[in-house]
A and B are shown apart, each in its own frame.
Chain A
Amino acid sequence: MRWLAGRVGQAIVTAALAVVLAFFLMRAAPGDPLSRLGDEHPLTPQQVQVLRARYGLDQPLTAQFRAFVAGALHGDFGTSIQYGRPVTDLVLQRLPASLLLGTTVLLITFVLGSWLGAAQALRAGSATEQTVGALSLAAYATPSFWLGLVLAWLVGIEWRLLPAAGMHDPLLAMDAPWATRALDIARHLILPALTLAAVNIGATMRHERSAMLQALREPFVQSARARGLAERRIRWHHAFRNALFPVVTLFGLWLPLVVAGSVFVEKVFAWPGLGALAADAVSARDYPLLMGVTVLVSLMVVGGALVADAAYALLDPRVRRA
């Protein structure tokens, strides 16, 4: 219990540091969220000044930070400069799409990737293993935006098997049965999830394969065999469980994907997630929106790392004692 409390304390400090850093670094970066209005939609300096006051950008940096913290503690991150809407609304509206895509990709990547990696290890040296290995490596080396474009063109345009973009069919009636709506979302999800999973699964497979090969050579496996345990039980209950450690580490590292998604894939498939929203906020220097996304992503990432630590401890009691 003390171990867990310590980890939670560390997580809170880490998240707070990340948010403070993001706040000051973003403002230190060149570019101004309001000077962008001087190009295609010209505003006079006086008009810009009014807007600057509206968003509190005319205040000293410390006063801006105090206002940000005071608002954030109440869940109010202000109004987006770019969209003119409350940041909390914008972020919460996009969160479900990101969670759905990210969770699906992580599930495919880790469940399928771990299984395929372990299976590769068990068939080490066979033609199947080499073919699967080469394919996973090729997928790993493929840029996600390119794969996304190709899939959208081939499956969405040429074959018209799946929607080329979006998360919902806008033509679907609002009162459509939930099963129809779920099927509609699932059809839209396939291509972006496949694109991201195809690119990421290779890494999981390779880590799992080498960990499994290592585990199969460990003395406890030989001991289990000597005790006459069934080979299937030895492989999947003893060796596979031990071979999961590197994958759990990867899981922790890839957790941001759940929230932030992939900017390129979200853009190519017009997926209404947080990744594209955050990227637009950076390029527009939309400070309030960027801070809203940063807080959420920091909390999710730090929380995810905490979950990964807990999983480690669950799998290996030595971690708790360390």
Chain B
Amino acid sequence: MRRLISILAAILLLPICARLDAQAPGGTIVIVTGEQATVPVPTLIEGAAGTRANQELADQLFLRLAVRKPGRATSDEKGYEPQLARSWSRRDSLTLVFGLDPRARWHDGKPVTARDVVFTFGRARDPQIAPSLAAQLQHVRDVRAEGEYRVVISFDEVYGEQFFDATYYVQPIPAHLLASLPADNISRSDFVRAPVGDGPYRFVRSVPGESVELAAEPGFFLGKPGLARVIFRTATDPAARMNLLLSGEADAMASVVPPMSNRTRLERTGDFRLITTPSDLLGYLLFNYRNPADTSRPHPILADARVRQAMTLALDRHAMALSQFGPYSVVPFGPVSQMLWLGNVSPKAPRQNVARARALLREAGWNDSDGDGTLDRGGEPLSLSLIVPSSSIMRRDIGVMAQEQLRQVGVRLEVIVLERPVWQERFVSGRFDVAFGALRQVPSPSSLIDSWTCRGANNVSHYCDPAVDSLLSTAIVTQGNAAPMFVDALSRIEQDAPATFLYAPLEVIAVHKRYAEVELRDGSPWLMLWHWHVRRGQDLPRDRVVIH
């Protein structure tokens, strides 16, 4: 009997021992990024400072109330896991109650309380302090503390993504350190130079223009971080970033592809594995419905849906995406990046159909009457311009491919490369025929409202379909299965072709092979970095670090 118990105990304990054995003590990760975090403080990550670098660093320093599990819909309240909030419940359809984990501590040792959450929501909802955040939180009516560890958030209307809004946009900041500082003075304060958070890693030092170092918080209440040290190292030039990886000076990097040659170079070293996660990026050619010279009048060519549809069908979007991203991209159905869960329930995008494109153009009255290869109607050629920002080599390359493919059906497309601020100015003011846009979407489908509804604040092309508006607004407030309504809206958008949606890539991330328990989250790949550790026996000299 005793022998049997011993065997059973050994079997049960074996995986735990093996795991303990597998983890090397210490552990360092050097992550190369394209920009340095300068204000990694929630509520300040706004406007131009709303960079990925700031957000990625803030994700290590500051916790959210809860985080969404991978692949789960933003409206699925059961699809979230606790962070600062240990539990949550609904008081009614307009009120959420969060119970904070009393073990949570700021890095200066003070407890994280409901006052911190209320204070942060107050800053985040003030349009003078955080205009963008305030707009995202427009449906939050009130946030109040009930006791030290309970927060009550109420909303002004019933909709499916209340929980997402309450947890995604706001990461509490310490009221005891910041409440006495005027809001417009925080960017000049010592707090920004050395933020005090409540996350798994605490701030150690920043070397301007070069790196930011974090150290594991040994008393982190959700568990001891597996890596002792995290360094975000900056190189603005893509070639310099690759050099740091290839020379062995760095361990991980996001956005490896494009170009595809990076994959080959990394595979040759044998030190890295490439991991993919859904990306928030969406590339598209946006058609202007209005005349760029006089936006009160319809566009002389593109106001006709048949021309827009023909241009979309004339393009081999799969080949375009393949040329830049290799296997790491899909042609989206509607304005849906891979990070939006809608991509999983949408149909496939139609493939190139040159014959149908030609037929549509003929139907719209465009013929090559003078035999010069460009279609014309009433003496006017089917000639358009495409504006592309000079900062993106990829968009420039795809623009040239589009030019050639459209030439085959008789559409003349002039590719105009503009300096980025000039391109932006023309894009925002609607002074273009076709614009090559690239959008980073938040994970919520409610973001579609901004660009693809009649009154959308970012609807620069003046696309308008009241049926789409109705479908989207109904889907957003639906608390059950809203997917069919969203798909209907996407189908209508596809049919009307306000844009040709070209690519929705995956985020390709290179990670050194010595790390185990590697978990990457869409939107913020390093969010679960504290779960990672270095495999015993594979540690490098830089891993042998002890942080007290």
Known: A165-B249, A171-B30. A41 touches B440 (CB 8 A): yes
Known: A32-B424, A276-B236. A270 touches B39 (CB 8 A): no
Q: Which residues of B contact A6 (CB under 8 A)?
A: none
Q: Which residues of B contact A163 (CB under 8 A)?
A: 247, 249
A165 to B28 CA separation, bound complex (whole angstroms): 19
A264 to B47 CA separation, bound complex (whole angstroms): 28
- Interface residue from A33, A42, A50 paired with B421 (Cβ < 8 Å): A33
Question: Are A32 and B421 in contact, with the CB atoms below 8 A?
Answer: yes
A270 to B128 CA separation, bound complex (whole angstroms): 36
Interface residue B9 (Cβ < 8 Å from any Cβ of A): no
In chain A, what residue has the closest Cβ to B440?
A: A40
Q: Which residues of B contact A165 (CB under 8 A)?
A: 235, 240, 243-244, 247, 249
Q: What mask results when residues 10 to 51 of chain A are scored 1 for a CB within 8 Å of chain B, else 0?
A: 000000000000000000001111111111111111110011
Question: Are B249 and A50 in contact, with the CB atoms below 8 A?
Answer: no
Q: Which residues of A contact B243 (CB under 8 A)?
A: 152-153, 156-157, 164-165
Which stretch from B201-209, B293-301, B346-354 is at the chain A interface? B201-209
Interface residue A223 (Cβ < 8 Å from any Cβ of B): no
Q: Which residues of B contact A93 (CB under 8 A)?
A: 208-209
In chain A, what residue has the closest Cβ to B206?
A: A93
- Interface residue from A47, A156, A167, A267 paired with B131 (Cβ < 8 Å): A47
A160–chain B nearest beta-carbon distance, Å: 6
Question: Are A40 and B438 in contact, with the CB atoms below 8 A?
Answer: yes
Question: Are A38 and B427 in contact, with the CB atoms below 8 A?
Answer: yes
Interface residue B160 (Cβ < 8 Å from any Cβ of A): no
The size class of the interface chain A forms with chain B is 35 or more
A4–chain B nearest beta-carbon distance, Å: 36
Q: Which residues of A contact B205 (CB under 8 A)?
A: 174
Interface residue A177 (Cβ < 8 Å from any Cβ of B): no
Q: Which residues of A contact B457 (CB under 8 A)?
A: 42, 44-46
Contact residues, B184-232 vs A (CB, 8 A): 184, 187-188, 192, 205, 207-211, 213, 231
Interface residue B48 (Cβ < 8 Å from any Cβ of A): yes
A190–chain B nearest beta-carbon distance, Å: 14
Question: Are B421 and A277 in contact, with the CB atoms below 8 A?
Answer: no
In chain A, what residue has the closest Cβ to B47?
A: A51
Q: Which residues of B contact A45 (CB under 8 A)?
A: 457
Interface residue B176 (Cβ < 8 Å from any Cβ of A): no
Question: Are A37 and B48 in contact, with the CB atoms below 8 A?
Answer: yes
Question: Are A50 and B128 in contact, with the CB atoms below 8 A?
Answer: yes
Question: Are A37 and B47 in contact, with the CB atoms below 8 A?
Answer: yes
Q: What mask results when residues 18 to 42 of chain B are scored 1 for a CB within 8 Å of chain A, else 0?
A: 0000000000101000000011000
Residue of B247, B419, B425 with most partner-chain A CB within 10 A: B247
Q: Which residues of A contact B248 (CB under 8 A)?
A: 160
Question: Are A42 and B450 in contact, with the CB atoms below 8 A?
Answer: yes
Interface residue A149 (Cβ < 8 Å from any Cβ of B): yes
Q: Which residues of B contact A94 (CB under 8 A)?
A: 208-209
B302–chain A nearest beta-carbon distance, Å: 20
Interface residue B132 (Cβ < 8 Å from any Cβ of A): yes
Question: Are B439 and A42 in contact, with the CB atoms below 8 A?
Answer: yes
Q: Which residues of A contact B30 (CB under 8 A)?
A: 170-171
Question: Are B131 and A46 in contact, with the CB atoms below 8 A?
Answer: yes
Question: Are A81 and B48 in contact, with the CB atoms below 8 A?
Answer: yes
Question: Are A41 and B50 in contact, with the CB atoms below 8 A?
Answer: yes
Question: Are B188 and A38 in contact, with the CB atoms below 8 A?
Answer: no
Interface residue A240 (Cβ < 8 Å from any Cβ of B): no
Q: Which residues of A contact B131 (CB under 8 A)?
A: 43, 46-47, 50-51
A35–chain B nearest beta-carbon distance, Å: 5
Interface residue B467 (Cβ < 8 Å from any Cβ of A): no
Interface residue B135 (Cβ < 8 Å from any Cβ of A): yes
In chain A, what residue has the closest Cβ to B207?
A: A168
Interface residue A72 (Cβ < 8 Å from any Cβ of B): no
Known: A50-B128, A153-B243. A36 touches B237 (CB 8 A): no
Q: Which residues of B contact A153 (CB under 8 A)?
A: 243
Q: What mask results when residues 149 to 186 of chain A are scored 1 for a CB within 8 Å of chain B, else 0?
A: 10011001100100111111011001000000000000
A34–chain B nearest beta-carbon distance, Å: 7
Question: Are B421 and A272 in contact, with the CB atoms below 8 A?
Answer: no
Question: Are B207 and A170 in contact, with the CB atoms below 8 A?
Answer: yes
Residue of A43, A54, A270, A280 with most partner-chain B CB within 10 A: A270
Interface residue B355 (Cβ < 8 Å from any Cβ of A): no
Interface residue B428 (Cβ < 8 Å from any Cβ of A): yes
Q: Which residues of B contact A62 (CB under 8 A)?
A: none
Interface residue A84 (Cβ < 8 Å from any Cβ of B): yes
A30 to B426 CA separation, bound complex (whole angstroms): 10
Question: Are A38 and B422 in contact, with the CB atoms below 8 A?
Answer: no
Q: What mask results when residues 283 to 312 of chain A are scored 1 for a CB within 8 Å of chain B, else 0?
A: 111100000000000000000000000000
Interface residue B233 (Cβ < 8 Å from any Cβ of A): yes
Contact residues, B62-96 vs A (CB, 8 A): none
Question: Are B420 and A272 in contact, with the CB atoms below 8 A?
Answer: no
A284 to B458 CA separation, bound complex (whole angstroms): 20
A110–chain B nearest beta-carbon distance, Å: 27
A104 to B141 CA separation, bound complex (whole angstroms): 59
Interface residue A83 (Cβ < 8 Å from any Cβ of B): yes
Known: A36-B421, A38-B424, A39-B424. A267 touches B450 (CB 8 A): no
- Knowing that A47-B47, A84-B47, A85-B187 touch, tell me 11 more A-B residue pairs with CB under 8 angstroms: A35-B425, A36-B421, A39-B439, A51-B47, A82-B49, A84-B48, A85-B38, A152-B243, A160-B247, A164-B249, A272-B207
11 contacts between A and B (CB under 8 A): A34-B47, A36-B420, A45-B457, A54-B184, A84-B47, A157-B246, A165-B240, A166-B233, A170-B211, A270-B240, A277-B209
User: What 5 A-B pairs have minimum CB-CB distances, sorted nearest first?
Assistant: A272-B209, A31-B421, A84-B49, A44-B457, A93-B208
